[in-house]
């Protein structure tokens, strides 16, 4: 399975989108890469959205937060395996902006549609390819008990 | 002097699959140059053709963005950690 995420963290990242609605929420998925190229999520770290100029349709995670999260993850023997954000009243499908701003090849980009304040659909996409020919592909995910 | 550079997931295939690389440098610029010298495949992923850091690549010296320090001229010491962090953003 490409991405395994505990049910509790899945619920948590979806609820984050409900709390921030009508603005986009964002966060980092921390976990482990397995030998087969799959990912197991161990934590979903909520982050602030620095796009206070347009939070209803844009998100940006401060690099300073990413630095801290990456450092703490590596100290714990873990890694950044992906990111999540929400689409208020928009489909859980990556946009051209999402692709343009995606640079973490090999990581998952999880998107939740939040309609009128309620999380509806959550999809995961895997970023592949080098910067000038990158693409986001549908990624299967599995919910685990823990 | 030796300092550590943290390599983010997307760049590890070009850095011998390593998450931490030790370089020898007195400044940030020397550290990045030594990194690219050790792993030449990293160069095009870090720098534009003009030799500047790509716009979406952030480099932090400990907890400070080098763009707000002295950029490549920023001095480093042995206990410093250099983090390479591609940006994370998007939207509908």
- ipTM, interface predicted TM-score of the complex: 0.95
Average pLDDT value for chain A: 96
**Count of domains forming chain B:** 1
- Partners of residue B6 in chain A, C-beta under 8 Å: 70-71, 74
Residues 14-33 of B with CB under 8 A from A: 19-20
Q: Say if residues A130 and B46 touch (Cβ distance below 8 Å).
A: no
The architecture in CATH of the region A3-144 reads 3-Layer(aba) Sandwich (3.40)
pLDDT tens digits, one per residue of B34-59: 999 999 999 999 999 999 999 999 99
- Partners of residue A94 in chain B, C-beta under 8 Å: 90
Predicted confidence band at A113 (pLDDT cuts at 50, 70, 90)? very high
Does residue A88 have a cis bond before it (omega within 30 degrees)?
Answer: no
For residue A59, what are its two tokens? 């998100």
Q: Say if residues B61 and B77 touch (Cβ distance below 8 Å).
A: no
Closest CA to A70 of A131, A26, A28: A28
pLDDT at residue A35 in the model:
83
* CATH number of the structural domain spanning residue B25: 3.10.20.30
Q: Is A24 among the catalytic positions?
A: yes
Q: Residues with Cβ < 8 Å from A6, sequence gap 6 or more?
A: A41, A143, A144, A145, A146
pTM: 0.96
* Neighbouring C-beta atoms of residue A71, cutoff 10 Å: 16
**Is B16's pLDDT higher than 80?**
yes
Domain boundaries, chain A: 3-144
Percent of chain A past pLDDT 90, that is, above it, reads 95
Is B18 within the bounds of a domain? yes
Distance CA A31, CA A87 (A): 24
């Amino acid at each position: 399975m490409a991405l395994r995420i505990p049910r509790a963290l899945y619920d948590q990242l979806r609820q984050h989108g409900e709390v921030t609605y009508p603005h986009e929420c964002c966060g980092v998925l921390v976990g482990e890469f397995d030998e087969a190229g799959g990912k197991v999520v161990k934590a979903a770290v909520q982050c602030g959205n620095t796009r206070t100029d347009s939070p209803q349709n844009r998100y940006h995670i401060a690099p300073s937060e990413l630095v801290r999260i990456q450092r703490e993850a590596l100290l714990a023997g873990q890694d950044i395996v992906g990111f999540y954000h929400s689409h208020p009243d928009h489909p859980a499908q990556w946009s051209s902006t999402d692709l343009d701003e995606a640079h973490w090849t090999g990581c998952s980009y999880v998107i939740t549609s939040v309609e009128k304040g309620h999380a509806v659909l959550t999809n995961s996409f895997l970023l592949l390819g080098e910067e000038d020919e990158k693409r986001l592909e549908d990624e299967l995910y599995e919910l685990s008990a823990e | 002097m030796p300092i550590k550079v943290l390599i983010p997931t997307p760049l590890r295939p070009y850095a011998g699959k390593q998450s931490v690389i030790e370089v020898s440098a007195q400044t940030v610029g020397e550290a990045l140059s030594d990194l690219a010298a050790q792993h030449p495949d990293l160069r095009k992923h870090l720098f534009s053709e003009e030799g500047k850091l790509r716009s979406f690549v952030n480099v932090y010296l400990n907890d400070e963005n080098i763009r707000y320090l002295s950029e490549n001229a920023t001095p480093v010491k042995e206990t410093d950690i250099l983090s390479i962090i591609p940006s994370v953003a998007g939207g509908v």
